[in-house]
């Protein structure tokens, strides 16, 4: 999985999974473009001083103009990895329109706007590229979305969007896929569920390796896939 000199956008790159993905990309020679919204994200990002990391501030990925700015200065985009999103759990009786639309905006809209910008950039470059989105286990197993219906619906929409887009752009040599994580082994999840069996959760490096393959030049045939990354959970 050689990314030597290739430009890669990683949204959500300052988060737990994103930091792991960026770290693995950097070891393989990538130039990483990492948008963030809050200064605290940049301050805690361990790769902020790396010579091949370009941090992009004030990047509200639900705003079309901000997304265009993220991609505008990428020299020659090869891959766009969309890890940004949000989670909220609540029964439907407690999920008003604002809460429901917040999940749609954080998960589906940000993904769609970034995919749009990536496709435009890759088409202009003429060399094709790779796009990787993030769905979730309830997108493939909707019954697991009880108590989090807005989140499950938004991630199911990401999955459907990914499959449709993969068909739309394959003739441009742009391969689009998504992963569908279960519970990831992150410090935040351990703190929230201290009695869980952490060994069953998917490790960040293992999930990141799946993402890197889908985003790499080595992936020549996989498109429109929603790849489960559940670990043993």
Q: What is the pLDDT of residues 90-114, one digit of tens each?
A: 999 999 999 999 999 999 999 999 9
CA proximity to 225, closest of 158, 178, 182, 157: 178
Answering whether pTM is above 0.85, one says yes
Q: Token pair for residue 5?
A: 């000199």
| Distance between CA atoms of residues 96 and 46, nearest Å | 37
Catalytic residue, from 36, 71, 151, 230: name it.
Answer: 151
Residue 151 a catalytic site member: yes
pLDDT digits (tens, 9 = 90+) for 141-190: 999 999 999 999 999 999 999 999 999 999 999 999 999 999 999 999 99
CB contact at 8 A, 86 and 107: yes
Q: How do residues 39-75 score in pLDDT, each as one tens digit?
A: 999 999 999 999 999 999 999 999 999 999 999 989 8
H or E element, residue 151: helix 149-169
- Domains assigned to the chain: 7-229 (3.40.50.720)
């Amino acid at each position: 999985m050689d990314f030597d000199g290739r430009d890669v956008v990683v949204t959500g790159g300052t988060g737990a999974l994103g930091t792991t993905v960026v770290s693995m990309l950097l070891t393989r020679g990538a130039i990483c473009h990492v948008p963030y919204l809050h200064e605290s994200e940049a301050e805690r990002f361990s790769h902020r001083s790396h010579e091949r990391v370009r941090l992009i501030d004030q990047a509200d990925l639900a705003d079309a103009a901000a997304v265009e700015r993220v991609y505008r200065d990428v020299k020659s985009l090869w891959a766009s990895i969309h890890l940004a999103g949000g989670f909220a759990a609540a029964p439907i009786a407690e999920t008003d329109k604002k809460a429901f639309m917040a999940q749609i905006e954080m998960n589906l809209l940000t993904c769609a706007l970034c995919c749009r910008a990536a496709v435009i950039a890759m088409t202009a470059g003429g060399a094709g590229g790779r796009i990787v989105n993030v769905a979730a286990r309830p997108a493939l197993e909707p019954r697991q979305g009880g108590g989090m219906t807005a989140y499950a619906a938004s991630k199911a929409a990401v999955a459907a969007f990914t499959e449709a887009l993969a068909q739309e752009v394959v003739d441009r040599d742009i391969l689009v896929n998504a992963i569908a994580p279960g519970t990831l082994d992150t410090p935040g999840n351990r703190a929230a569920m201290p009695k869980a069996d952490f060994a069953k959760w998917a490790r960040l490096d293992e999930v990141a390796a799946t993402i890197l393959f889908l985003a790499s030049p080595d992936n020549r045939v996989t498109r429109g896939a929603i790849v489960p990354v559940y670990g043993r959970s």
